[in-house]
Structure 1
Amino acid sequence: MTETAGRTARETRPPGVLGVGESAQRPDATLKVTGEFAYASDLWLDGMVWGVTLRSPHPSAWIRSVDVGPALAVPGVRAVLTHEDVPGEKYYGLELKDQPVLAVDEVRYQGEPVALVAADHPETARRAAAMIVVDYEPREPVTDPRRSRNIVRYQPVRVGDTFEADVVVTGEYEVGMQDQAFLGPESGLAVPAEDGGVDLFIATQWLHVDRDQLAPCLGLPPEKVRLTLSGVGGAFGAREDLSMQVHACMLALRLNRPVKIVYGREESFFGHVHRHPARMRYEHGATRDGRLVYVKADILLDGGAYCSSSPAVVGNAASLGVGPYVVPNVRVDATGVYTNNPPCGAMRGFGAVQACYAYESQMDRLAAACGLSPVEIRARNAVSQGSALITGQVIDSPAPLAEMLRELEAMPLPPPRSGADLRSLPGGVSQTTHGEGVRRGVGYGVGIKNICFSEGFDDYSTARVRAELVAGRPHVTVHTAAAEVGQGLVTVQAQIARTELGVEHVTVATADTSVGSAGSSSASRQSYVTGGAVRAACQAVRARFEGMPAREALEKFGPIEETREYRHRPTHPMHPETGQGDSHTQLALCVHRAVVDVDVELGLVKVVELAAVQDVGRILNPQQLEGQIHGGSAQGLGLALMEEIQVRDGRVLNPSFTDYLIPTVLDMPPMTLKILENPDPAAPYGLRGAGEPPTLSSTPAIAAAVRAATGRELTRVPIRPEDIALA
């Protein structure tokens, strides 16, 4: 059930033209539901061969030798490559070029790529890869981030000098390593070109940055490395980094024939980054009536073996480390370190998720210590428009957090549990319980998330829009490099074109690198930045209509094409010693209430209901927006109760969906949503990025509800049955 408030008027356009503000149907919807959608793993070319990666079994070891002879002797094997065969630079990386294309002399995590095999059949390639003889000299891995002295980034935030208060609560919290768990594993097809370059058809989030990392490693100029987006089966941050891209291209260029690489599920767990595990210590001080005086926080993030986007994740954790609350005195220390654990990088929520779990757990402790309700303690300290974050940045657009909390609190609670239906109980129809040990709990969570890239990153997008007559009717083609990763961006681009040009027939061209960069499909930024670029290009086209209807203008002038870049307002790096600076473009808020039933004897949890209030500035597509809030809430539920990559001594113990559990439709409860529209005057259409904030606040809300039901402190997520039953 969804309710919206504060709707703005729709632009005037012809009847039947579904534009901004309406639930236009996704063009990929039917294909995906019927199983006919072409994902990158479905790519096929005659004459192609299959690539496979040999990976290290050790989290830390020297490589003394690599013997590829046994693999080359296997019939059907076309090539076996090691780091000595890399044609250009041997290292790449998003922020720091520290990651080898193939291991050079040593491996730093279990699963690091060591060699490549190409063969006529994927099973042949796998069998040959297993025959490569690598002489490893294992080393003692550094797996405890508290022992690491190799720092990726340290970011303090310092405000004020008063660190005494009437009421003080402290807590130590831990967040496990979560996987993005997209359903479509890494896959792509590399095709050598006649000009000596390569065309790569790939499931990714960031076409141009992939290209800019690939080209130096391949020893080619960027214009000879052409990327085209193929069907993406989910992303959530894990496709920002390279996986098999450079490997497929190396093999294709070596063999002068197409090469396809598709990871299986187990390899996917080793082939992409994960959410940073975190250890956090917080201290909150307040007046007796619950007004925050100070917050101290120590946030430690395990970045794993390579840098990836860890510096930006640390920056987010620091700048948003006390949440959307007014705090006059702050001492935050956020640190990311290298270890020999799997590399960590971008995942939905990007550093803000870990901090949110800790500071919201603290707000519940503070509420209890002050004798206030969880809603009241948050409302008394809530930011609003004009408030300053701990970085000194002033919130210059609507931020009605206190009102959102009151709206959430006023929503009716679900009715009491009926014991007649086993499906309503924790454990369900397995009949683990008949309700005798079941207790109900209610909890609240609040999250604040930055939208778009931060800290001075040159964040922009490019759009090319062409209007012409096709079969006598006006037709518009929108071309960007923005990756459709399942979020519905293709639909939104078409809606913007219809709104701005009043033309019903719109085609969104396949994203590729032949048009200017659109940046990454991450940071909840594409509707803002690529939406802004599409809008600007459409407005430039419309200006050339000279006030005439589209058909008349195109009959008179012929095809009209315009390309525009869109940049949001500038951001600035955080000061390295004080953490001060206007580091973020836009901020988004979401609040959750969770209702859970817990079998306190068996430790089983059933989430009965999730309710959420979120301010999105302006709704572009109501149905897609609801899907984003539901999806983000589901990933937050997974982090709260079930999702964790188990790593012991640097080794992953559960690289499969049998052992790594993700929420299914049976785990997700009914959701009640209230979506507010308080436009941001600086953003296109007043919109506010919406995909990530629900992931933040759903986790602490569920954890708080479980605490309320059990009376346990529960300072770690995911909460395991033994944390409840054996506490």
Structure 2
Amino acid sequence: MTATRCPEPTPTHAAASSAGIGASTLRPDGILKVTGEFAYSSDLWHEDMLWGHTLRSPHAHAEIRGIDVTEAVRMPGVHAVLTHDDLPAATHYGLEFADQPVLAKDRVRFHGEPVAFVAADHPETARRAAAKIKVAYAPLPPVTDEASATGPDAVLIHPGRHDHRSDAVPHPNIVHHQPVIRGDDGAWAAAKARADVVVAADYEVGMQDQAFLGPESGLAVPAEDGGIDLYIATQWLHVDRQQLAPVLGLPEEKVRLTLSGVGGAFGAREDMSMQAPACLLAMHTGRPVKMVYNRYESFFGHVHRHPAKLHYEHGATKDGEILYVEYRIVLDGGAYASSSASVVGNAASLGAGPYDIPHVRGEALALYTNNPPCGAMRGFGAVQACFAYEAQLDKLAAKLGMDRVELRRRNAVGEGSLMPTGQEIDQPAPVAELLRRVKALPLPPERDGGWGRAAAGEDVDVRSLPGGLSNTSHGEGIRRGVGYAVGIKNVGYSEGFDDYSTAKVRLEAVAGEPVVLVHTAMAEVGQGGVTVHAQIARTELGVDRVTIHPADTQVGSAGSTSACRQTYMTGGAVKHTCELVREELLRRGRERLAHRHPAWLAGVELVLESGKVCTHDGEPIADLVEVLGEEPIEIEAEFHHRPTEPFHPRTGQGAGHVQYSFCAHRAVVEVDTDLGLVKVVELAAAQDVGKALNPLSVVGQIHGGSTQGLGLALMEEIQVSADGALIRNPSFTDYLIPTILDTPPMPVDILELADGNAPYGLRGVGEAPTLSSTPAVMSAIRDATGLALDRVPLRPEHIAGHVSG
């Protein structure tokens, strides 16, 4: 990693140790996870617990004519079987619209929809009991694409419901529709007339799964006060509670959630999965109920990345100035809304990419269909758009005969540029510099002697060949390609959402030493927030010993661990609250030390320096512990980012985003053109992170996002049958994810250009690399093969037999 550092914030204090912000402190859970000793939510146990299981629909669209639970209820060891008619209160829930039934009643709308819940004294008993439930289905034709969803004979997925953000949505089977228009009609026509070169194409992105390694799990325990305690792996404790309480018929204060060990998330844990069934079964039986999905069930039990079909048209002058872009992005949201409306907003507003294009006509929409529900996944709508607009830039460069990187740099946005939504980028936007840097990184060396030795049968490590350990390619027909891409991603929640986070900080003296306790509801899902929060507390209070309280709903909301927002928002809340604690400590110090220095103390500014109360020029006056005494300081406070506004429903104009992040990638690939196999040799990145609070974690986030983007480019896709909307590959046998053998070296160049609106100047990190890694890999494969390659993930048949020469 190379790095360009931003200036340090002006200190009003000094860290007590080198483990504050800017240090690569190690994660407390790291060794436990790699050694298998970490306690995940699936490891929870209660001495008298039951096991829950869900019966799911085998059809994507069908009427339910009847449910007979008689045989299941009679099985020894079965304690409860619940159907829709047994629900005690609200019957629907949802992130944005309450359109998803807890249990299907008259109709199922996707393959795997819950129909009944079972609790038994052993997980195998629960599964066998569920298999004995008899459900009479009358299959219906599934709605699977835009034509069947919005055509003249379209069947409404949710007849009678009108859950839409605006009146501008043109059809009941459209969850949300967002146009973006920049430039008036006359200027638009003139721009099209001026274009010397026009490139237009259709693109497709498959349905990607978050594929976290720890499937959904949790434990619900009935409480003596009539409430429920839920220990759960989730991304947003408070919104789970907000959805759960009406379903359970309980006030929110009696629904208490505690975060348990999370084995990855990437967006799929934003929606509820087994929260409601575990709690309902626990309340019904009066006993703790544990639920753990196996991998097969996990594919049905959470949302996925929206598959997309996109049409783009770019027009440019012969000198490479992009005059206009026109795009249409159609996202398949599946049976229920989840967060599709927000994904549409991102796709539409970021659909032109990180380019200063004066004339824009774009739109994005999400459909209701009978395909699996889709919602949040790392990149959140910007991934699909980035694949298409970066493919367009490659094609435009080829048609103009220009260098691909130079075309991008010539049209890159910068600080002060206007987005197509009319929002000014009022923060560093070093897109051109990132492209320059990633191109300047040394290329990996060519194979010694090329591939001739391998083709001639000489010894070559098959792991280095396309196809790897499958031992299929021996070096024949292998070509190397280099590709580039850059992306733009928003940070935090947008479109007028009042995004905030809460932190409670307690400073006290224990055994003569100052100790800080930080309590938030932030879901630690592997991003390293617990490390960063401790670093912030050390920096702001100058205290070595910092403890992170387990996340739960006994403190104010921290929002979701998504949208790259937790370091910004909950980190900002910890910083803000620590500042309030520091102010109270110094106020107390001035009060308690006044007798010691009565003549001059009143007019002297006090600061904290390495555990001591000092004058502003560093003269120590007293130890922190002496000032603190036996009376702890505990403060809970909220942190809000600057306000955003909704996009106009017909023009898409508005200052909708808090912050933007940028990442550029260069991919080097080797392609066996005969077999259609690809080996990614290197995947280099350059990214502006504003301020690297923990440089080691920053690089880890970039590596992780890049690997997930590589997966989308080459292998990851949920296959859904075209005729029945049924998931065909719900296992890691058939749904492939990158392994260590697929993951190439990943050089990273870090910029730190501070955003003056953000705590410490930081910028969200983890999502941007997921955008540009996919099109960079595809760009490199195009460079090697000369093929258009307008779909991801790439399949061998897209290459084999299509490469000339």
Category of TM-score, reference length = shorter chain: over 0.9
Residue identity in the other structure for 1:155? Q
1:723 aligns with 2:798: yes
Q: Percent identity?
A: 66
CA shift, 1:556, in A, is 3.0
| Contact 2:16–2:539 under 8 Å retained in 1 | no
User: CA deviation digits over 1:437-488, x for unaligned, max 9?
Assistant: 1000000011000000000011000000000112221100000001000000
Q: Which residue of 2 aligns with 1:629?
A: 702
Residue identity in the other structure for 2:553? T
Q: Which residue of 2 aligns with 1:4?
A: 3
Which one of 654, 662, 678 corresponds to residue 729 of structure 2?
654
| Contact 2:673–2:801 under 8 Å retained in 1 | no
**Structure showing greater Rg:** 2
1:254-403 counterparts in 2 under 5 A?
Answer: 254-403=284-433
CA shift, 1:263, in A, is 0.2
* Equivalent position SS for 1:647: coil
Q: Which residue of 2 aligns with 1:219?
A: 249
Residue identity in the other structure for 2:108? V
Which one of 148, 151, 154 corresponds to residue 177 of structure 2?
154
* Equivalent position SS for 1:148: helix
CA shift, 1:553, in A, is 4.7
Q: TM-score, structure 1 length as denominator?
A: 0.99
CA shift, 1:554, in A, is 5.0
1:574 aligns with 2:575: no
Which one of 484, 488, 503 corresponds to residue 524 of structure 2?
484
Number of aligned residue pairs: 726
CA shift, 1:708, in A, is 0.8
User: CA deviation digits over 1:508-556, x for unaligned, max 9?
Assistant: 0000000000000000000000011000110111112214266335543
* Equivalent position SS for 2:472: coil
1:539-558 counterparts in 2 under 5 A?
Answer: 539-546=579-586, 547=606, 548=613, 551-556=624-629, 558=631
* Equivalent position SS for 1:583: coil
Which deviates more from structure 2 when the two are superposed, residues 327-336 or residues 521-530?
Answer: 327-336
CA shift, 1:402, in A, is 0.9
Distance in structure 2 (CA, Å) of the matches to 1:252 and 1:540: 41
* Equivalent position SS for 1:433: coil
| Contact 1:145–1:338 under 8 Å retained in 2 | no
User: CA deviation digits over 1:184-239, x for unaligned, max 9?
Assistant: 00000000011111000000000000000000011110000000000000000000
Distance in structure 1 (CA, Å) of the matches to 2:632 and 2:146: 59
Distance in structure 2 (CA, Å) of the matches to 1:151 and 1:429: 45
* Equivalent position SS for 2:405: helix
Q: Which residue of 2 aligns with 1:495?
A: 535
Residue identity in the other structure for 2:92? Y
Q: Which residue of 2 aligns with 1:588?
A: 661
Structure 2: gaps of 5 or more residues: 151-172, 452-459, 587-605, 607-612, 614-621
1:524 aligns with 2:564: yes
* Equivalent position SS for 1:248: helix
Residue identity in the other structure for 2:625? E
* Equivalent position SS for 2:668: strand
Distance in structure 1 (CA, Å) of the matches to 2:757 and 2:15: 28
Q: Which residue of 2 aligns with 1:511?
A: 551
1:41 aligns with 2:42: yes
CA shift, 1:14, in A, is 5.1
Structure 1: gaps of 5 or more residues: none
Distance in structure 1 (CA, Å) of the matches to 2:801 and 2:117: 47
CA shift, 1:403, in A, is 1.3
Residue identity in the other structure for 1:504? D
Q: Which residue of 2 aligns with 1:616?
A: 689
* Equivalent position SS for 2:585: coil
Residue identity in the other structure for 2:235? Q
Distance in structure 2 (CA, Å) of the matches to 1:195 and 1:433: 65
CA shift, 1:16, in A, is 3.5
* Equivalent position SS for 1:652: coil
| Contact 2:15–2:540 under 8 Å retained in 1 | no
CA shift, 1:8, in A, is 3.0
Distance 1:14 1:537, change over 3 A: closer
Residue identity in the other structure for 1:321? G
Residue identity in the other structure for 2:137? Y
Q: Which residue of 1 aligns with 2:273?
A: 243
* Equivalent position SS for 2:686: strand
Distance in structure 1 (CA, Å) of the matches to 2:690 and 2:623: 30
Q: Which residue of 2 aligns with 1:606?
A: 679
Distance in structure 2 (CA, Å) of the matches to 1:600 and 1:515: 57
| Contact 1:646–1:652 under 8 Å retained in 2 | yes
CA shift, 1:17, in A, is 4.2
Residue identity in the other structure for 1:408? V
| Contact 1:467–1:554 under 8 Å retained in 2 | no
Q: Which residue of 1 aligns with 2:33?
A: 32
Residue identity in the other structure for 2:97? L
Q: Which residue of 2 aligns with 1:693?
A: 768
| Contact 2:23–2:695 under 8 Å retained in 1 | yes
Residue identity in the other structure for 1:342? P
Distance in structure 2 (CA, Å) of the matches to 1:706 and 1:468: 58
* Equivalent position SS for 1:675: strand
* Equivalent position SS for 2:503: strand
* Equivalent position SS for 2:629: helix
User: CA deviation digits over 1:378-411, x for unaligned, max 9?
Assistant: 0010000000000000000000111111111111
Q: Which residue of 1 aligns with 2:576?
A: 536
| Contact 2:665–2:685 under 8 Å retained in 1 | yes
Which one of 438, 447, 459 corresponds to residue 487 of structure 2?
447
Q: Which residue of 1 aligns with 2:788?
A: 713
CA shift, 1:557, in A, is 5.8
Q: Which residue of 1 aligns with 2:461?
A: 421
Residue identity in the other structure for 2:647? M
Distance 1:152 1:553, change over 3 A: farther
User: CA deviation digits over 1:664-706, x for unaligned, max 9?
Assistant: 1110100111000000000000000000000000000000101
